[in-house]
Chains A and B, each alone.
Chain A
Amino acid sequence: MTHLSLSNISKQFANNTVVQDFNLEVDKGEFVSFLGPSGCGKTTTLRMIAGFEVPTTGTVTLEGKDITNKAPNQRNVGMVFKAYALFPNMTVAQNIGFGLKVRRENKETIQATVNEMLALIHLEQRGDSYPYQLSGGQQQRVALARALANHPEVLLLDEPLSALDAKIRVQLRAEIRAIQKKLGITAIYVTHDQEEALSISDRIVVMYEGKIEQVGSPFEIYNFPQTAFVAGFVGTLNTTTAEVVDPAAHLLQIDGVQLQAAEGLEDKQRGDKVTIAIRPERFNFVAVEKKANILDCKIENITFLGSVVRIQVAVGSNRFYMDTFNNPFLALPKIGDADQVTCSREAVLVLRQ
């Protein structure tokens, strides 16, 4: 059931269009991430849901009600900010209880909710502390508890982990996801960190230059990127231009070498140029006799990345990365060796132009 809906949303600042033709339906209890580089419009879209910006066109609907022009304090939408935004003059408990106090809840209700929230974020002993007495991670947990204390319809998180160090980030994102699942709350999460989006979301909305590039589950976004931008932004990807040889047989050609895809050439003609993408981990060295997708290559570089070894190979004028899991008995080729790499037909992704 659609809980939050954004229809034909666009936003202009003076002559600059920062969001255009944005359409999205979010189900109740769903965790959706807006992923994209800086300036792609993801935070602006989030702020339009929160009510801090009014869309130039389009409507925002929550629980079937149009909230496009409602003031932020009338929407019952909780927000967690990048910079925590805890009130410095209030204790942790006062921060968490602020929204309830504004709603004139009685003291007992406020106290009970504050205690419940403190338990939820595992800071039961810190209710009387001031924000400056907490670490960054603790402050952001308090900010999350404060946003949740009002029982909002939607929880909005604007790059909430970007100010924290890597280890805390990983720990806290798991906590955020666990709390969201436990409460069954609809959440919209803005991030430019692809790993964060892939690990935490039910669905990801990849944005670029104000437009949605692709919407899908983390699995779909990673394995089946539909555009060159998504392919390049999410994970490492080898992309190159290929010429269509036989659209019916899904045959392509790069530098005179034939390559077969599984799909994506249905509307193409012989001789058309298309962009293809292959994930580094989908390449293998040719170990057994194969009939298709065999590429003669030269080993150019080998890089250890811990659990993965990244091998750069030259195929004609193209440079491709190939990833293979590291193990102590791995027989690696030598730089300068001639070899052959291969990939399945399904690994060759024909990208939408």
Chain B
Amino acid sequence: MKRGKAWAWFIMFLGVLYFFLPLVATFIFSLKARLGELSFQAYANIFNSPQFLYNFGASVIWAVLTIIVGILLLVPTAFVIRLRVPQFRSPVEFITLLPFVIPPIVYVFGLVRTYSQPPLLIVNSPFLLIAGYTILSMPYMYRSVDTGLRSIDVRTLTEAAQSLGAGWGTILFSVILPNIRTAILSGAFLSFAIVIGELILAQYLVKPAFAPYMAYVMEQKAFEPAAMAIVSFALTWIAMGIIQMVGRGRGIQVGGGH
């Protein structure tokens, strides 16, 4: 028994080592911008760089817009499918998973080919980038929302609200959305992480974004890309932490169960 426990700890230690060793190595490397001492010089350099702030700011804007479009598109879709056309659930789930099996490079090539000629000449529009990001983050957003809807009795809550005189807007915004708030936040933060780290779409649609800038800097400098990797990693973890914190709030409860 004791031996088994020791093995378990050993395996866990190996796992931690596997995940954190590259991270620690990158972090230490990012601190070596000044010769002979450890410093946050590389971090200072990137945060003082107008290009970094411009590209990172652009990515944040893309991410926020992607989240808004994703919520507006996928929450009503998942709601209607669950309530009215449950037979469409499997095909829609399949469609939402397509971004996992279609490589972004194929996808972006299709976008460029389709939208770079009349009548849909919108390849330069940021809307195409947002649409692209929405598709790429769709598996995460849809799954999160669907899981949230599964945790509440959508049909009965909807009917209860209807019997009290509520229309669809009130039902969606006052009853359904507040009860899947945690799930929507999960989807939102995952979408945020996807957009911040996405390289190919922004690069091929020639739009400012964090990941292409990071790739560009990697070709020019040594320590700053490592610092940026740590920053993007930290941002992702902060996003996850917020999901956890929000998720620990008041639980969803229907029909006497929690």
Same complex: yes
**Min CB gap B60→A, angstroms:** 29
Convert B152-178 into 0s and 1s, putting 1 for each residue whose CB lies closer than 8 angstroms to a CB of A: 110011011111111100100011001
Which of B156, B160, B175, B250 is within 8 Å of A130, CB to CB? B250
Which of A79, A98, A99, A103 is within 8 Å of B159, CB to CB? A79
**Contacts A99-B164, A102-B164; A81 near B179 (Cβ below 8 A):** no
What residues of chain B lie closer than 8 Å to A75, measured between beta carbons? 163
Do A139 and B256 have beta carbons less than 8 Å apart? Answer: yes
**Contacts A103-B165, A150-B164; A84 near B157 (Cβ below 8 A):** no
Complex CA gap A108/B179 in Å reads 27
A83 within 8 A of B: yes
**Min CB gap B178→A, angstroms:** 4
Most buried by B among A77, A83, A89: A89
A322 within 8 A of B: no
B252 within 8 A of A: yes
Which of B156, B159, B170, B181 is within 8 Å of A102, CB to CB? B170
B221 within 8 A of A: no
B126 within 8 A of A: no
Which of A51, A78, A88, A147 is within 8 Å of B179, CB to CB? A88
Complex CA gap A80/B258 in Å reads 20
What residues of chain A lie closer than 8 Å to B167, measured between beta carbons? 73
Convert A128-143 into 0s and 1s, putting 1 for each residue whose CB lies closer than 8 angstroms to a CB of B: 0011100010010001
**Min CB gap A212→B, angstroms:** 24
Do B164 and A146 have beta carbons less than 8 Å apart? Answer: yes
Which of A72, A86, A136, A163 is within 8 Å of B163, CB to CB? A72
**Contacts A89-B178, A102-B170; A73 near B162 (Cβ below 8 A):** yes
A292 within 8 A of B: no
Complex CA gap A131/B254 in Å reads 8
Interface residues on B, range: 20 to 34
Convert B222-258 into 0s and 1s, putting 1 for each residue whose CB lies closer than 8 angstroms to a CB of A: 0000000000000000000000000000111111101
Do B160 and A87 have beta carbons less than 8 Å apart? Answer: yes
Find the B residue at minimum CB distance from A98. Answer: B164
Complex CA gap A131/B164 in Å reads 18
What residues of chain B lie closer than 8 Å to A87, measured between beta carbons? 157, 160-161, 174-175, 179
**Min CB gap A325→B, angstroms:** 38
**Min CB gap B177→A, angstroms:** 9
Find the A residue at minimum CB distance from B164. Answer: A99
Convert A261-292 into 0s and 1s, putting 1 for each residue whose CB lies closer than 8 angstroms to a CB of B: 00000000000000000000000000000000
A52 within 8 A of B: yes
Complex CA gap A103/B167 in Å reads 11
Q: In residues 52-90 of chain B, which contact A (Cβ within 8 Å)?
A: none
**Contacts A83-B254, A88-B252, A88-B253; A150 near B175 (Cβ below 8 A):** no
Do A98 and B156 have beta carbons less than 8 Å apart? Answer: no
Which of A73, A79, A163 is within 8 Å of B255, CB to CB? A163
**Min CB gap B81→A, angstroms:** 18
A183 within 8 A of B: no
Do A85 and B250 have beta carbons less than 8 Å apart? Answer: no
Find the B residue at minimum CB distance from A132. Answer: B253
Complex CA gap A79/B164 in Å reads 8
Do A89 and B179 have beta carbons less than 8 Å apart? Answer: yes
Q: In residues 177-216 of chain B, which contact A (Cβ within 8 Å)?
A: 178-179, 181
Do B256 and A52 have beta carbons less than 8 Å apart? Answer: no
What residues of chain A lie closer than 8 Å to B152, measured between beta carbons? 88
Do B163 and A102 have beta carbons less than 8 Å apart? Answer: no
A190 within 8 A of B: no
A76 within 8 A of B: yes
Q: In residues 29-67 of chain B, which contact A (Cβ within 8 Å)?
A: none
Do A81 and B256 have beta carbons less than 8 Å apart? Answer: no
Which of B159, B161, B170, B254 is within 8 Å of A88, CB to CB? B254
Do B160 and A79 have beta carbons less than 8 Å apart? Answer: yes
Convert A108-134 into 0s and 1s, putting 1 for each residue whose CB lies closer than 8 angstroms to a CB of B: 000000000000000000000011100
Measured CB to CB, the residues of A under 8 A from B are: 50-52, 71-79, 81, 83-89, 98-99, 102-103, 130-132, 136, 139, 143, 146-147, 150, 156, 163
12 contacts between A and B (CB under 8 A): A50-B159, A72-B159, A73-B166, A77-B163, A85-B157, A87-B175, A88-B254, A98-B166, A102-B170, A130-B253, A132-B253, A143-B160
Extra contacts besides A72-B163, A88-B179 (15): CB < 8 Å: A51-B162, A73-B165, A79-B159, A81-B159, A85-B157, A85-B160, A85-B254, A88-B252, A89-B181, A98-B161, A99-B166, A130-B250, A132-B253, A150-B165, A163-B256
A-B pairs, 3 with minimum CB distance: A99-B164, A132-B253, A85-B160
